[in-house]
């Protein structure tokens, strides 16, 4: 399963090489052209069928995941770090990680509960107070394995939880390796439009790759495949305007750039008339980053299509439901 391979891959923002290689290997005999730009975006082109001129449709999914970067090596061999992307410090303690090109295993540690006061235990321990233990006892030993600036990601492996009912799986980096897997699957088809598959880099640190790719491709229409928030866990009163597992992929209809009805109305209407009854869909008013194509590229229309994940940007893993889009 491509999703499993991508989820297990090492690919924090700025270090997406492994993910890019896996996607290139899966796509090379299915598309007409495959290029990587200077920022690290992988762009695949598949020519449409039929007479031209044809519309140019961009499908975008980002390859990077949240992670950590090593910023200091302590005398006792512990590794200080900073977050790469949006990570909640509350979720970090006692989590397993792998560090650097050697994929060195480690554990994020913090002061033990026995040595902290009650008031301290009620406070969130900030990232600069946490360190990674890789089993070394001196800085020199640590430097033999890890260098300043090395990346780390959470040591979480993909696992299918259920093949029945909701067909759920857990793993890391579902945001946005689910989108990458779906976009790659589109290369198997033939379409009356020219298809540009953009696997963009560095989304988690500022939407960098998608903006560059959009300028390069200059699409007539852009469709973004992204992971979105799912918050349908039990609660006394459900007032959360988010998506639910089991109700299909979500179409984002608002966000940092408010869409025109003509942009998202047609996909919504067509979704309701979808000839495949097994493919439900839902809408979400929670905007992700998938609004980039309205403003930077001559006012092109863009629509966000999202897979849902519980515990987004969390560790040891996101819990999501892969969808056939």
Positions annotated as catalytic residues are 203
Question: How is residue 281 annotated by DSSP?
Answer: -
DSSP string, 150-202: -EEEE----EE--SSTT--EEES-HHHHHHHHHHHHGGGS--SSEEEEEEES-
How far apart, in whole angstroms, are the C-alpha atoms of residue 252 and residue 259? 9
Contacts of 70 (CB under 8 A, 6+ apart): 79, 80, 81, 99, 100, 132, 146, 147, 148, 149, 150, 151, 152
DSSP string, 6-34: HHHS--BTT--HHHHHHHHHHHTTTSSEE
- Note if the bond before 176 is cis, omega within 30 degrees: yes
Tokens of 96: 């397993």
Burial class (CB in 10 A: 0-12, 13-18, 19+), 123: exposed
């Amino acid at each position: 399963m491509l999703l499993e391979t991508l989820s297990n891959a090492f690919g924090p923002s700025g270090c997406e090489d492994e993910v890019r290689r896996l996607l290139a290997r899966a796509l090379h005999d299915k598309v007409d052209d495959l290029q990587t730009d200077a920022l690290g975006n992988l762009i695949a082109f598949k020519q449409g069928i039929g007479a031209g001129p044809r519309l140019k449709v961009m499908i975008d999914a980002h390859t990077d995941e949240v992670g950590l970067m090593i910023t200091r090596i302590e005398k006792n061999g512990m590794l200080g770090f900073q977050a790469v992307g949006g990570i909640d410090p509350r979720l970090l303690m006692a989590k397993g990680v792998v560090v650097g090109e050697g994929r060195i295993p480690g554990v994020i540690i913090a002061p033990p509960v026995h040595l902290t006061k009650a008031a301290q235990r009620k406070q969130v321990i900030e990232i600069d107070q946490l360190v990674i233990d890789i089993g070394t006892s001196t800085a020199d030993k640590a430097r033999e394995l890890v260098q300043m600036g090395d990346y780390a990601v959470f040591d979480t492996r993909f696992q299918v939880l259920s093949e029945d009912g909701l067909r759920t799986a857990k793993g890391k980096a579902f945001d946005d390796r689910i989108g990458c897997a779906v976009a790659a699957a589109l290369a198997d088809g033939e379409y009356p439009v020219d298809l540009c598959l953009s696997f963009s880099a560095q989304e988690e640190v500022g939407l960098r790759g998608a903006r560059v790719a959009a300028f390069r491709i200059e699409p007539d229409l852009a469709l973004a495949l992204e992971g979105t928030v799912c918050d349908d866990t039990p609660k006394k009163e459900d007032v959360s305007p988010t998506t639910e597992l089991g109700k299909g992929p979500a179409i984002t209809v608002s966000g940092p750039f408010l869409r025109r009805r003509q942009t998202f109305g047609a996909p919504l209407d067509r979704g309701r008339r979808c000839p495949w009854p097994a493919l439900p869909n839902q809408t979400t008013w929670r905007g992700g980053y998938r609004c980039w194509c309205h403003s930077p590229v001559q006012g092109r229309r863009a629509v966000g299509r999202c897979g849902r994940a519980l515990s987004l940007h969390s560790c040891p893993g996101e819990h999501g439901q892969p969808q056939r889009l």
